[in-house]
Chain A
Amino acid sequence: MPKVSNHRTLIDALLAAPPEKPFISVWKDEDDIEQVTFGEFTHWAKLQAAEFYLHGLGTGDRVILILPQGIFLMSAFVGAMMLGAVPAILAYPNFKVDPDKYAAGLAGVTRNLQARLVVVDEEFSSGLSNHINMAEGARLVRGVMSSLCSVEPTLPEMSLEPQSVAFIQHSAGTTGLQKGVALSHVAVLTQLRHLAAALRITNEDRIYNWLPLYHDMGLIACFMFPLVYHLPIVMQSPMEWVVRPGMMLQLISEFRCTLAWLPNFAFQLLARRVRAEDRLDYDLSSLRALVNCSEPVRAQSIDEFVFTYKDSKLPRHIVKTSYAMAENVFAITQSPVDGAPRRIWVSGPALWNDHRVVPVADPVDKSICFVSSGRCIEGNRVRIVGTDGVDLPEDSVGEIMILSDSLFSGYFNRPDLTAQVFKDGWYWSGDLGFIHDEELYVIGRKKDLIIVAGKNIYPQDIEEIVCNHPAIHDGRAVVFGVYNPDLGTEDILVVAEVEKEELLKDSIEIERILRNAIAAELDITAREIYLKPPRWVVKSTAGKPARSTTREKLLAEHPELRRDVTQGAQFQ
């Protein structure tokens, strides 16, 4: 039977959970798994709430949590909500993160949040904590997981209101530029109700997660969702996943998980980084849906994943799609759970020249495949508008605008940014897409679009072609436009990493092949192709190429391009 939940607040939903039902299993190592039931978790959250109360935390106060992924972090998050305080999870430093970049981001985000309490663990370095911007009277606490005692902690009488702010989650962006999105209990519960209906959630569901909890996919889909619908979660650290992605599939096999959310690049990584002999050990037959979400969906990534795991009992049509963002709590669309997301092939020239979608029957010369992100879930609406803000008909590419019953009301402490993204109650997403047969297709970020002599070029299309070359490290190509003052339009620049440095000696031949492939498939010419050694492209904390930082790096190495950029700025 599909589950429904009609609680007033997230805390009410948790308190209604069967206490003996398993809630969280955190896999740390082969013989180190932390597990709690809903009853134990609730008790821990109350202990955290009592501790926070002693530190003077009250209704509406922000509390920043910078803790390793795990039960302590999660119980502290819920404990703060029990007091009516507003928790926000920030990324915990890992060995892979650049310390200077991390410190700068920490300073920016904490300045905006003005928290009363900042909780870190004992391992958090004092060098980094010096970068936390403390509000007046704020306290930094080095928290430790209390031991579970049978005494029920005493909490003040609280009456949480559905409309009050439950927590702040941060939207995507480089850490320092992240924008805080304050969400009410009712907004989160409303979103989850629609999502549960779209995914036909039942009591038998079990979620697997490696996604960080400071990201909406991790926090909403893989923590708040199971908390409200009383589903078990199996988790591991994001770092452990990066080092050994195959462990995810082993845990799904062992714990018989049914649902997981993954960004598009993860499907490709799982297809390429897991040893063939390990794949035979997996039994993925328990899965109901792997939801591809948070970046544009690529048919090739899905196909490669499905083909690679065809002998691991992967059910048919297992990969679903969704369009989601922190500003809407989470999902706006979801593809059907009982089939594959639709795909269409469209004419490249019509798309590039006129921003129009003209379907073609089958893959033909200069056609492009798009994967649908599905229809709007209940309570959500999208419109596609042109640059003048006027609505466009189906099959026209424009900016995606969103209206929903779970939409945020503004960025925390940033009325300036809020004013830029709202118009008549609709949220301007900054994403480009189109609607075809009532389904949404997402193309990419509007700011990444390159316009060459009136022709619209989506950098992702070129990046995909470049990455298909065996000498290029998959996912490490970045394409952008620079203004060409002689021609009065943008030129296309490609920068890509080769798999091994030795391949750079074949640069001329690789560049020639790439140029031909780009011209043949997209009918455009790249002005320059820069091949770089491994690890040259700058990556974001999420592991994806950081487009603007990579662009700056290339311009710094090639100052002759900077001249064009500067001149171009005068005309834009």
Chain B
Amino acid sequence: MNGQAQEVINYIVKDVIRRPGVEIREDTPLVSSGLIDSLALVNILLKVEDVTQMRIPAGKVRPKDMDTVNLMFATAQRLGKPRK
């Protein structure tokens, strides 16, 4: 796992899920499995932007683009542009 993915996972565990003992990997389904509330995705999207130094146009992000950490990074790659 790369450092960027680990940073986002740490954020999700510590600041979003906030339950001890929950382990997530890059391919763990988050919303579809009920682990996180879909409303929390706005903050996670901003975190992915911070970590990747990209700007991701939120209007182009589809529901399935945010279900795992891997998908989030793929979305950043596909839609994101370097921050100015």
Contact = CB atoms under 8 A, between A and B. Distances in A.
Nearest to A32: B57
A29 B81 contact: yes
Contacts, number: 68
Contacts of A125: 63-64
Interface in B22-73: 31-32, 37-42, 45-46, 55, 57-66
A310 interface: no
B59 A237 contact: yes
Contact of A535 (B31, B32, B39, B63): B39
B18 interface: yes
Interface string A68-94: 110000000000000000000000011
A29 B55 CA distance: 9
B63 A94 contact: yes
19 contacts: A28-B59, A29-B57, A29-B60, A93-B62, A95-B58, A95-B65, A95-B66, A96-B38, A97-B63, A98-B31, A98-B37, A99-B31, A99-B32, A123-B62, A239-B61, A240-B58, A243-B45, A243-B46, A244-B58
A501 B61 CA distance: 29
A237 B65 CA distance: 17
A236 interface: yes
Given A237-B58, A239-B58, A242-B58, 6 more contacts: A28-B59, A29-B57, A30-B84, A99-B31, A125-B64, A237-B59
A99 B63 contact: yes
A58 B14 CA distance: 55
Question: Which 8 pairs between the two chains have the least Cβ-Cβ distance?
Answer: A237-B59, A243-B58, A239-B58, A240-B59, A29-B57, A95-B66, A240-B58, A95-B61
A539 interface: yes
A410 B57 CA distance: 40
A533 interface: yes
Nearest to A125: B64
B39 A95 contact: no
A535 B81 CA distance: 29
B59 A97 contact: no
Interface residues of B, number: 25
A30 B80 CA distance: 11
A: contact size bracket: 20 to 34
A543 to B, nearest CB: 8
Contacts of B37: 98, 535
A97 B41 CA distance: 10
Interface in A17-37: 28-32
Best-surrounded residue of B42, B55, B59 (most CB of chain A within 10 A): B59
A503 B6 CA distance: 26
Contacts of A238: 59
In terms of DSSP, what is the predominant structure of the interface of chain B? Answer: helix
Contacts of B41: 95-96
Contacts of B55: 29-30
Given A30-B81, A123-B62, A96 B39 contact: yes
Nearest to B44: A95
A529 to B, nearest CB: 21
Interface of B: 16, 18, 31-32, 37-42, 45-46, 55, 57-66, 81, 84
Contact of B38 (A31, A95, A242): A95
A32 B31 CA distance: 29
A544 to B, nearest CB: 12
A239 B39 CA distance: 11
Contacts of A98: 31, 37-38
B64 A236 contact: no
B63 A95 contact: yes
A539 B40 CA distance: 11
Contacts of B66: 95
Max count, chain A CB within 10 A of own CB: residue among B39, B66, B81: B39
A32 B57 CA distance: 10
A29 B39 CA distance: 22
B18 A533 contact: yes
Contacts of B45: 95, 243
Nearest to B84: A30
Nearest to A31: B81
Nearest to A543: B39
Given A243-B46, A539-B39, A501 B18 contact: yes
Contacts of B57: 28-29, 32, 240
Contacts of A28: 57, 59-60
B32 to A, nearest CB: 7
B42 A243 contact: yes
A246 to B, nearest CB: 13
Contacts of B42: 96, 242-243
Contacts of B63: 93-95, 97, 99, 125
A444 B84 CA distance: 44
Contacts of B40: 535
A244 B49 CA distance: 12
A31 B61 CA distance: 17
Contacts of A30: 55, 81, 84
Interface string A553-564: 000000000000
Contacts of A99: 31-32, 38, 63
A81 to B, nearest CB: 25
Contact of B59 (A239, A501, A535): A239
A285 B55 CA distance: 28
Residue among B32, B58, B66 with most chain A CB within 10 A: B58
B16 to A, nearest CB: 8
Contacts of A242: 42, 58
B84 to A, nearest CB: 8
A470 B37 CA distance: 24
B40 to A, nearest CB: 6
A499 to B, nearest CB: 12
A281 to B, nearest CB: 13
Contacts of B32: 99
A337 to B, nearest CB: 31
Contacts of A239: 58-59, 61
